[in-house]
Structure 1
């Protein structure tokens, strides 16, 4: 696709070219036939602005010449529907049809051939599907744009032979059938200025005859299956301004003669296997953006790049380049970003890349740069990221760099920096990450750091910091990780750390901290790892730490004493208590016994006293056990009396119910337990009238909190858990056959019950992936298809049918439940989020969350690093479910390879394989041959849903239409159930990679 700078050049050029060829003066009245055609188009696309009593030439977007309709421009007007091409092509004077950037769908039928006078046809950025028909009759065509749709099959390349005047051909971003070689028909279009063939499954080598297209201004062949060398004949394209070849398998050197492209502004050949030096680049003096990352280039960067007057983007990371970067780099234009990471560069960082005040990202990590950070960057207020880790840089960091107002990441780790962290860091309101580990920073951690309220990570380990940890650090409520190990910090651990509620990792080891461990650390309910080892801490381990769900705990090499809290005395933490001579435990093998006999010579009096105490304790326990047993029997025998006496329950119904809260409450017992989820336990409750319901029990108090703490929490007026409120808020207003029914809620001070319809066939996960589910018969393909369609309709309703869109945030096969007929229900809305409306007239909010919610293998890639949720996150997760249905495999399997999931596995198989044949091989072997074609279609829809770039994923409304089209050949029962508009997009060859300008994190 065109990057913004070239797009700003191309769009005015197109509009000027188009409308200078037509008469825009007021037109006389057109015929009734033309009015009828336009009203038909109005009805098909829902164009409210066109009035039935109006004159066609006065319709918005309609242009007339000599009283006849000559142009229709509805581009980017958000119209939706299926275009009646047969009708539109009855407009005899129509020369321009602009419909790009909308929500149009369906097939482009052969009726388009009737538009014989068309000169400009733009259908790009829609949801069209099916094969592109023969276009040979469109002999006058000058511009053809079909890009960014779902066209399949083989493009009718032969049609291009009849279009000698074609100057713009854009058919990229479509899952066309892979070509066997570069299409020769394109090479005969000598009038071409714009050629966009990216991401449309073109296979083979770039032919030398590409040099015949001497009028080309823009050539984009990226994200295809091209291999071999770049032909030197490409140097004949003297007018070329943009050359995009990224994400292919090109090899060899940059061809001699490439330097002849003196007008080239944008050059991207990244992510190939190119090698050799960059000497040809020195002649490309008009470059604005140069992207050559992830190749095998070596040698030095030509010093001439420092004199390029227009260069603003330079990305050369992950090569083998060495030597000095040109020191004048970025001095002339408004330099935007540089990423030369993971090379072998030496010498100083160029000082003037922010000279024009526009620098946003400076990424020079993993090289051998030396010297100091240039002082000029202390005033670079536009800077968002400064990453220079793993180099040989030293000296003090320029003071102003710490307080840059827009800086989000400063990463200087593993260098030789010294000096103090400037207190001005508190002014860096956008700063989310400080990484300065492995340096020689000294002085105190400034108390002013609490002003950087967006901080998520502070990594200052292995420096020379001293003094106390400031109490103000507790104000950093977004802090996820605090790493201060390996310094000389002293004093007490501030109790205010307990206020950093988002902390997941805390490491203060290898310092000189003293005093007791603050009990407030037990408030860090998200804490996963705690390391306080190798300090001078004393006193007892707070019992409040037992409430934490830790996976790692290290308190070793301190002066702690007393009994280790029972919740922490587990084998997994056995080494975490070493070298604390005063610690003990009761009957714990790796801890010294807390018995007084282990502390010195035996004493008869002490033995007698202890025996008496033990005997008394045994009697007390026996009495307590007797009364406890009696109490339990009373509770089971007279539940109603106990409930009315000890608890005040409140029931709120959302549907008509025939039971009361007492019947439900009595049934919440272990013998009725059928499962445990992330937000509560689920019970099967037989109402005794032939009806069964499912009850989810959610505790309001945090797990592990008891006694006085629990009592205090239970008295809060808003004690119910977030999961409870999310489910009630979402489901109480939802009425859809494919969303689980919520009958009522029953709440008390310390727990909440949600009563749902009972789905006897369990979850889709169980039926697909567990031995028990397979014993019960698993799911045949017909059932899987119905599950796919039904679940997609449920999500479509949540996204498009509610007053405000509901994002589920945890779509997965275990949250799709099956009724007695295997009809699906979307369930478990504990993470759901209702998108709030923005300011009046504004777009919907892509809500931000501070915790990544969801399940590994189903999470959209952008969610983890943007922390923003919208409907496209659900679409991605549902795409994974479709892949499960088609392949029968789990989202994560060992066979996929390291760091790969089903999405990447499917993509790799499709790219390496051979179109349809490779897709069939991915289908679950248990699916019969007669249904495999349909399964392949569903698999390809799953690929479309899991595109890495969210904007390329379809809406759930479009997904429903695709799935219904995929089942067009099914039995009348299935097709009748499907209904809706036909629209299938068979997707093969799409890369899940982002297609925008890329820089390393």
Structure 2
């Protein structure tokens, strides 16, 4: 490979490396130190380029140094060069891998061609070889697909992309990564059948749970003998049995096969996996008896068999599972008594037995648990005394014992360690008082003890639990009043106290329950007025106060609870009238005011609501029943109101209990017998109306002529004009005051508009206001217009004023207004406004209106959007003009109708009326 020869110079020896010919000159100093004469620039492979010179070392004894140098070069060739080549390949593969993904959160920002892959976020390299061994990208909000380029990462041991939004299928190229030990693609959106991954013999963790994989459940998982954790749950596999060869995975500690569409019994081989710690076959359709052999798996700390069709009883041998912490066999068809031996499982933290057919008493040993956090046995047939010490020694967080037959005193220690958040004991036979110990249970979120036999009063602190969302005391024999402490339950959304013997007034502090949605307090003995503070409950949807002893009127404030769907106030002693404001409750579906002493008329506005249930019977109502309500509810909803009647047109729908309104009949008979009277009345009304219109018009013209005369006279008076500018413009007072009638653009109820050519070459429009005799109105108008800034609102340049006379200077619109543009034609007979221009104008005008609504404070209501008030510049950009002027000028004179009659929306000007103006034209 190499040879050394003496140089002609006595102090140097030449070493030639024949096979690679990568020679360098090396000079040797007097102390024998070898120094490279040159360092080759360029990429990492430059050291392999041949050099025309040789390596010369001094003296015959330097041959050994040549040998050492050769060895070093050989090491570099055989080790460093392959690493560099492999790293380049892995870099390209990872960049291609990135290109298949969408990364909205820029977690892969560091993946750049100029960087080493070992610096990429989520990538880990081997410390000695420098090759990529781990890709850890779980929970990075990634989407897209898995690139086949993953196959180039031959040393990859871990691929973790769980909890993302990856689509597509698992590429078959992944099978070449035979060093994989961890593959986690769980909680993504992968689909299709699973590829056979049995070639990945080194896999220890395989988790593909919660995707959309379909087809037959993969039996090849039984060939992955090194598996420690297996998760294929929550996919769409075909219905079938659990493959028995899963039981051959003797190293398995974690088995998660929930909702895999399994049927029939669990194969016996499963129970031979003695190292298994977590067994989860939940949400399948497994059948057969509860497997007794499961008690041989003494390493188990978690059993999840809920939501299957298992039958039989829990075997006493369950006590052998001394490591068991979580035991969930709920929603099966299990029966029998819970074995006493189960009370010896002292490490239990979770017990879920709900929705089965268990019966008998619970083991008293349950009260000795020290780690229990969740206990749920609802919907069974348990009976007898409940273990009184349950929760006394454990950090209990939630308990649900509802819909059983437990009896006796209610346990007092559920919240002993002040961790309890959920206490549900509905539909049992508990009796006596609710223990006061729960008054200090501040973490409680849900407290439900309805449908028992409780009596006595409830401690004030229980009413005021600060974190309670639901409080349910319904269907018991509780007495006493609701205390003011209820104001502390500020998180409450549902309060159920119906069917008890509560009394006293509904507390005013109920106003503090700002989140309350449902208030059920019927069938009690509440008295006094319905508090007006109920109007502060803006989230209220259901109000049930029927069958109490309430008096006084229905508070009109109830109409501010705009989300109300149900109002049930029947069987009280309410008086007064039905508030007209109830017509504002647009979500109202049911209204029951029956069996009270309510009088007066039924509001016609209730017909506009989408009511499906109405009952006004047995009151003291009078007048005509609104036809719409009669059609919805029928006669029975109005029985027991002697003074109610219906229109003759609804006579065919009448049954017993209501009569035709006699006044209507008499009135129509008179008109029917005297048709000339109708003509006379109508003619008289027409004459009066015409006279009022003529008088109003004449008065308007006289005032207009007088004001024009005053304006011309005022213009001749001496005085100083005040010019206030709002945008840069070269304006001369003399030019503004001396407008030429030749340049008149138009006139209206507020003044004339002129075109004015400025000396600097620009053009503006000047509006001469002749009705501005109220200085406050003028100032208010200017104050609003100077603050308006939007490309679709006509720009106000300046205001010139003196002694009540004003000129407003606006930007000039060369294409006039929309009204005329719609009617103009081009020279070739084509309309001036094609559809593109019309669309542009509509959008521009809409943006201007939205600006007036939402960006102006206070908001501006135009009142007079019409085609003549939409101006167009030379680019046909729409600009809204004259907004609010008429209203502002006349806002203290209610007799002045300032808007244009054809475009005024009915009712009071609002944001919605402005939309009405806009839609009426566009």
**Aligning the two structures, in what range does the TM-score lie when normalised by the shorter sequence?**
0.5 to 0.7
Structure 2 residue aligned with 1:669 = none
After superposition, what is the alpha-carbon deviation per residue over 1:606-633, rounded to whole angstroms, capped at 9, x for unaligned?
9999579965664468879999xxxxxx
- CA contact under 8 A between 2:905 and 2:916: conserved in structure 1? no
Q: Residue 649 of structure 1 contacts residue 748 of structure 1 at CA under 8 Å; is this kept in 2?
A: no
- Of 72, 76, 92, the match for 1:36: 92
Question: CA, structure 1 residues 137+593, in 2 after alignment: closer, same or farther (shift >3 Å)?
Answer: closer
Equivalent residue number for residue 45 of structure 1: 101
Matched, 1:152 2:229: no
Deviations 1:847-892 (A, max 9, x none): xxxxxxxxxxxxxxxxxxxxxxxxxxxxxxxxxxxxxxxxxxxxxx
d(CA) in 2 for partners of 1:49 and 1:277?
Answer: 61
Q: Pick the structure with greater CA Rg.
A: 2
Distance 2:921 2:273 in 1: 68
Label 1:209 to 1:532 Cα distance change in 2 as closer, same or farther (>3 A). Answer: same
Residue in 2 aligned with 1:135?
A: 197
Q: Distance in 1 between matches of 2:309 and 2:405?
A: 24
Find out whether 1:276 has 2:276 as its counterpart. no
Correspondence 1:748 to 2:811: no
In 2, Cα distance between equivalents of 1:522 and 1:149 = 50
Q: Matches of 1:204 and 1:507 in 2, distance apart?
A: 52
Contact 1:312–1:337 under 8 Å retained in 2: yes
Asked if structure 1 preserves the Cα contact closer than 8 Å seen for 2:248 and 2:269, the reply is no
Take 1:468 and 1:517, find their aligned partners in 2: how far apart are those partners? Answer: 15
3-state SS in 2 of match to 1:107: coil
SS of aligned partner of 1:656: helix
2:178 is matched with 116
The equivalent residue for 2:690 is none
Distance 1:226 1:659, change over 3 A: closer
1:363 pairs, out of 411, 415, 424, with 424
Find the counterpart in structure 1 of residue 291 from structure 2: 231
Match of 1:203 in 2: 263
Q: Residue in 2 aligned with 1:251?
A: 311
CA distance in 1, matches of 2:590, 2:621: 19
Return closer, same or farther for 1:159/1:320 CA change in 2, 3 Å cut-off.
Answer: closer
Partner of 2:910: 717
Q: Distance in 2 between matches of 1:496 and 1:203?
A: 59
Give the CA RMSD over aligned residues: 3.3
In the alignment, which residue of structure 1 is the partner of 2:595? 534
Cα 1:492–1:428 shift into 2, 3 Å:
same
Q: 1:569 to 1:660 in 2, by over 3 A?
A: farther
1-structure distance, mates of 2:229, 2:671: 97
Residue 465 (1) aligns with residue 523 (2): no
SS at match of 1:568: helix
In structure 2, the residue matched to 1:592 is: 659
Cα deviation, residue 234, structure 1: 0.3
Counterpart position of 2:151: 89
- Structure-2 separation of matches of 1:597 and 1:201: 71
When residues 585 and 621 of structure 1 are mapped into structure 2, their CA distance, relative to the original with a 3 A threshold, is farther
Give the structure 1 partner of residue 232 of structure 2: 171
Q: How does 1:6-405 map to 2 (within 5 A)?
A: 31-45=87-101, 47-65=108-126, 66-67=128-129, 68-85=131-148, 87-161=149-223, 163-179=224-240, 181-279=241-339, 280-405=341-466
1:673-692 counterparts in 2 under 5 A? none
Alignment CA distance shift 1:104-1:586 (3 Å): closer
Matches within 5 A, 1:536-935: 536-570=597-631, 572-587=633-648, 588-589=650-651, 590=654, 591-595=658-662, 610=670, 615=675, 618-619=678-679, 656=836, 714-719=907-912, 747-749=915-917, 752=919
Distance 2:412 2:680 in 1: 78
Deviations 1:396-440 (A, max 9, x none): 111112221111111111110000011222232111111111100
Cα separation, partners in 2 of 1:622 and 1:182, compared to 1, 3 Å: same
Q: How many residues align?
A: 628
Alpha-carbon distance change, 563 to 84 in structure 1, aligned in 2, over 3 angstroms? closer
Deviation at 1:754, TM superposition (A): 11
Q: 1:365 and 1:607, CA in 2 relative to 1: closer, same or farther beyond 3 A?
A: closer
SS at match of 1:251: coil
Change in Cα spacing, 1:573 to 1:497, as seen in structure 2 (3 Å) is farther
8 Å CA contact 2:133, 2:156 repeated in 1: yes
Gaps of 5+ in 2: 1-81, 103-107, 688-747, 750-816, 823-832, 843-903
| Whole-angstrom distance in 1 between the partners of 2:684 and 2:839 | 37
CA distance in 1, matches of 2:906, 2:384: 63
**Structure 2 Cα separation of the partners of residues 160 and 302 of structure 1:** 40
For residues 755-776 of structure 1, the C-alpha deviation after alignment (integer angstroms, 9 at most, x for no partner) is 9xxxxxxxxxxxxxxxxxxxxx
Greater relative contact order, per chain length (Cα 8 Å cut-off, separation 6+): 1
Counterpart CA distance in 1 for 2:452 and 2:422 is 17
Distance 1:432 1:326 in 2: 31
* Long gaps (5+) in structure 1: 1-26, 599-605, 628-643, 663-710, 721-745, 756-1001
Is the 8 Å Cα contact of residues 649 and 747 (structure 1) preserved in structure 2?
Answer: no
SS at match of 2:246: helix
Checking the alignment, whether the CA contact within 8 Å between 2:329 and 2:352 is kept in structure 1 is yes
| Aligned position for 1:490 | 551
Following the alignment from structure 1 to structure 2, what is the Cα–Cα distance between the partners of residues 564 and 573? 11
Decide whether the 8 Å contact of 1:557 with 1:578 is kept in 2: yes
Q: Structure 1, residues 159-216: CA drift from partner, whole Å, max 9, x if none?
A: 522x22211111111111222x221110000110000111112222012332211101
Q: Does 1:525 align with 2:705?
A: no
- Answer whether contact 2:671 2:677 (CA < 8 A) is retained: no
SS of alignment partner, residue 384 of structure 2: strand
Taking the aligned partners of 2:426 and 2:668, their CA distance within structure 1 comes to 70
Q: Aligned with 1:233: secondary structure? A: helix
